Structure 1
Amino acid sequence: MIDMHIHAVNPQLPGVRHIPDFLSGPLEPLVAILRQQMQESGTEAMLGMGHLGGTADDPLGIASTLRIAELLPVLHPIGVADPTRIDTEHLQRVERQLQSGKVKALKGYLGYLYYGPDSPAYVPYYELAARYKLPFIFHTGDNYSDLAKVKYAHPLLVDEVAVDHRGVNFVMAHFGNPWITDAAEVLYKNENVWADLSGLLVGDDAYFANMTERGVVRRVVERVKQGIEFTERPDKFLYGTDWPLAPMRTYRDFVRELIPENYHQAVFHDNAKALFKM
């Protein structure tokens, strides 16, 4: 099983709160927690989001993830594409980091930064993604910050760049939740658009138990299943947990309810392995 959406480092996004302290602490305790989560959930590999605000030596914000990966080699980094930094020197440094072959994808934090996917500032990153055959992930849907502007994170905006940049595979993180029907249309229409199923519910085990008892989980499952059915392409979905915002084992069980059983192997493993060349 491949979890293609976790946070092993603090993403350092404006206004984001309630990030566990262990993401900013010593590496050994963090790695121990990750190993336990992986063992309990049956996870064999993970993709970890980088952080915003990379340095000259680390323009994609992946150095901390790479240090963790030295202790946990099944963790692979996803670099952050920062639309506020598009000067030639920065982009050259980004390209040098991509040339290492360690980066599995690029990510744009829509809504947290006030740039839509169709902003010209993202185009140089799309060109790099196409050149190095890397998927480009967008945060879509609800933002985990009251400073974010959600209009920039609407999944319909992904259609703009999917049409204009056919050489790039785009991934809508969180399936555009709560705009799942809109996200489903974008995926259905565009062969180069995928979606991950991370972050549809956020909380600890007690939260999931409470939401299950209240019938909330059942209603979320019904809503997401309708979106997946609309796409007619359950083979274009990816498993992710958004850990540590949800426990890996509990979230795995939740996602199992969303996907037809005959597509579990594809969604939990094969799709990510192929898309991210793992």
Structure 2
Amino acid sequence: MDIEALVAIDVHTHAEVGADGHTSLSPELLAASEKYFKAAGHRQPTVPEMAAYYRERRMAAVVFTVDAEHVTGHPRIPNEEVAASCAEHADVLIPFASIDPHRGRAGVREARVLVREYGVRGFKFHPSLQGFAPDDRLAYPLYEAIEELGVPALFHTGQTGIGAGLPGGGGIRLRYSNPMLVDDVAVDFPALRIILAHPSFPWQDEALAVATHKPHVYIDLSGWSPKYFPAPLIRYANTLLQDKVLFGSDYPVLTPDRWLADFDKLDIKPEVKPKILKTNAARLLGLIGKENPA
């Protein structure tokens, strides 16, 4: 991957459909998410199509699916498939994996294989969708393995469009995605690099507190158009957290084109913009130099 040639690294994109047409979520949950993001009828691109999309824009993208089979009963897109497809497009795609913590020891073994044999560079958790609190000891053996493997863990935080509007929210519990629950993870696994995904409505201040207090906790800005970012998030991104904030879109429900167009309208310092768009992610993912000390 030619980091110098890239204009940005998008740390948050979803593989929503597998090579065989199997979707990452049930039709009901996908439809609710599309309605929430006003993206009804959007086409789920394959991983190779995602590669072409990002290559055309001279961007790289972190790609993952979500494993929530324990709660939803819907089988995941295989992590191995996502990783292998990303490997075929390694000039622009960076594979993450998703393992439901309810998989127990089998999930721990899978994590080790995915990193060592498939080149996976990190792991995505969605506590609300996967039905677990991040500080639940159920997940600790998996965190221990991820910390030992030296790759980041990305946690969905805040409200989610998945299940929005369905009876009972599709059974999804928002409280599991409070970033303060990830603070315990940062304490108990001090070498684990953690990304808090999204502006964490309604817990934005909590996310900022955790990221400023814990050296290896970052924030990605995916899932929202930047024009809706709360003022404290913009202020911290411009100052105290300028080395720990990351560009993410949530593609395909929110495109990097729209995100970047709105980001350009924010009052972000010229010297900070390239950090958010590329440099911070490149260091965190080990693509250049070393991770910045906090």
Task: Say whether 1:77 aligns with 2:84.
Answer: no
Aligned residue pairs total 252
Q: 2:173 aligns with which of 149, 153, 168?
A: 149
Q: Is the 8 A contact 1:177 1:200 kept in 2?
A: no
Describe the SS at the equivalent of 1:99: helix
Measured against aligned partners, the alpha-carbon deviations of 1:52-76 in whole angstroms (never above 9, x if no partner) come to: 168xxx9993233234325533212
Q: Scaled by the length of structure 2, what TM-score is found?
A: 0.76
Gap change, CA 1:33 and 1:130, over 3 Å in 2: closer
Other structure's SS at 1:76 match: strand
Query: Using a 3 Å threshold, how does the CA distance of structure 1 residues 261 and 114 change in structure 2: closer, same or farther?
Result: same
Q: Which runs of 5+ in 1 are unaligned?
A: 202-216
Query: In the aligned structure 2, how far is the partner of 1:139 from the partner of 1:70?
Result: 25
Which deviations, in whole Å up to 9, do the C-alpha atoms of 1:3-29 show, x marking residues without a partner?
Answer: 111113347347622366743x7x4xx
Distance 1:33 1:169 in 2: 26
Contact 1:188 1:232 in 2 (8 A): yes
Distance 1:157 1:188 in 2: 15
Give me the whole-angstrom Cα distance separating, in 1, the residues matched to 2:93 and 2:65. Answer: 12
Structure-2 residue corresponding to 1:213: none
SS at match of 1:111: helix
Q: For 1:143-184, what per-residue CA distance to the aligned partner results, in whole angstroms no more than 9, with x for missing partners?
A: 122221110001111111111110101110003233211111
The 1:127–1:219 alpha-carbon spacing in structure 2 relative to 1, beyond 3 Å, is: closer
Change (3 A) 1:59 1:12: closer
Aligned equivalents of 1:101, 1:190: Cα separation in 2: 30
Structural mapping, 1:1-278, within 5 Å: 1-10=8-17, 12-13=24-25, 16-18=29-31, 22-23=43-44, 27=46, 31-32=48-49, 34-36=51-53, 38-40=55-57, 42-43=58-59, 45-52=60-67, 61-69=78-86, 71-73=88-90, 74-86=92-104, 88-100=105-117, 102-144=119-161, 145=163, 146-147=169-170, 148-201=172-225, 218=227, 220=229, 222=231, 224-228=233-237, 232-256=240-264, 257=266, 259-278=268-287
Shift of 1:93: 3.1
Tell me the distance in 1 between the aligned counterparts of 2:43 and 2:84.
15
TM-score (norm 1): 0.80
* Paired AA for residue 167 in structure 1: A
Structure 1 residues 218 and 98, CA gap change in structure 2 (3 angstroms) = closer
1:110-168 CA-to-partner distances (Å, cap 9, x unmatched) read: 11122111011111111111111011110000112222111000111111111111010
| Other-structure match for 1:210 | none
